[in-house]
C-alpha cells in the first residue's frame, strides 16, 4: 500500500473481530514506531504490547474511550522527565503504528481517554513512567464510515495567516 493511500484510507476502528493478530505483524508495527522522528533523537518512548486477555480486560476497564473488543493494544508512554517533547515524539510514533497496522490490514484506534495512573499500575510500570496513548488493534468487524473533513482552503494559507491560496480553491 502506498503511503498516501494508507493516509487517505485509514479509519479509527471501534468494532473488531476476536481473531488474534500474528506476533510477526505486531513486531512489524512496533518496528514502524521505532523509526518515528524524535526530537534530538532522544527516543524517550516505551511501547507495551498488551495481548494477555486478563490484562487487556483491566486496561479496557480503565480506558473509557476504548470501544469494541479489540484483541490487542499498544500502550505508548514516556518517562515523566521527557514530558515536554516526549509527548510529541509519541504522537509521531503513534501515527506510524496506525499507518503500519492499516497497511497490514489491521484496524486501530488511538485513545486518550484513560486513567493513566491505573494503566501504569496494571502494567507494573514505574512511577516515573506515564502512558500517553492507548492504541487498540484488531481485524475490522464493521468498517467505520468516512468522516467529513474540512477542505484545504479552510485550514491552509500561503505566506501569511489568513491569506488564501488560489491553488486550494476548488
Binding site for another protein (CB under 8 A): 52, 54-55, 57-58, 60-64, 113, 115, 117-118, 121-122
Q: Which residue number, 12 or 115, has a Cβ lying nearer to another protein?
A: 115
Residue 112 · residue 65 · CB < 8 Å: yes
Closest C-alpha to 134, from 80, 97, 168, 86: 97
Q: Which residue number, 43 or 115, has a Cβ lying nearer to another protein?
A: 115
Count CA within 13 A, CB hemisphere, residue 151: 9
Question: Smallest distance from the beta carbon of 73 to another protein, in angstroms?
Answer: 15
Residue 122 · residue 59 · CB < 8 Å: yes
Q: Residue 12: is it exposed, middle or buried by C-beta count within 10 angstroms (0-12/13-18/19+)?
A: middle
Question: Smallest distance from the beta carbon of 117 to another protein, in angstroms?
Answer: 7
The two beta strands, 45-50 and 107-111, are unpaired
Q: Which residue number, 126 or 162, has a Cβ lying nearer to another protein?
A: 126
Question: Smallest distance from the beta carbon of 61 to another protein, in angstroms?
Answer: 4
Q: Which residue number, 113 or 148, has a Cβ lying nearer to another protein?
A: 113
Q: Which residue number, 14 or 102, has a Cβ lying nearer to another protein?
A: 14
Question: Smallest distance from the beta carbon of 76 to another protein, in angstroms?
Answer: 20
C-alpha cell at 51: 495481548
Say how far apart CA 141 and CA 107 lie, in whole Å: 9
Question: Smallest distance from the beta carbon of 57 to another protein, in angstroms?
Answer: 7
Amino acid at each position: 500500500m502506498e503511503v498516501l493511500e494508507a493516509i487517505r484510507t485509514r479509519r479509527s476502528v471501534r468494532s473488531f473481530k476476536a481473531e488474534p493478530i500474528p506476533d510477526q505483524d505486531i513486531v512489524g508495527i512496533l518496528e514502524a514506531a521505532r523509526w518515528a522522528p524524535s526530537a534530538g533523537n532522544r527516543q524517550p518512548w516505551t511501547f507495551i504490547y498488551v495481548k494477555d486477555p486478563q490484562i487487556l480486560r483491566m486496561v479496557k476497564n480503565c480506558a473509557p474511550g476504548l470501544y469494541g473488543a479489540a484483541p490487542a493494544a499498544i500502550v505508548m508512554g514516556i518517562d515523566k522527565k521527557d514530558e515536554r517533547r516526549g509527548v510529541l515524539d509519541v504522537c509521531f510514533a503513534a501515527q506510524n503504528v496506525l499507518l503500519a497496522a492499516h497497511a497490514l490490514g489491521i484496524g486501530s484506534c488511538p485513545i486518550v481517554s484513560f486513567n493513566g495512573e491505573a494503566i501504569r499500575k496494571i502494567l507494573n510500570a514505574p512511577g516515573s513512567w506515564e502512558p500517553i496513548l492507548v492504541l487498540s488493534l484488531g481485524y475490522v468487524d464493521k468498517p467505520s464510515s468516512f468522516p467529513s473533513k474540512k477542505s484545504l482552503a479552510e485550514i491552509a494559507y500561503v505566506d501569511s495567516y489568513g491569506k488564501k491560496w488560489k491553488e486550494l480553491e476548488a
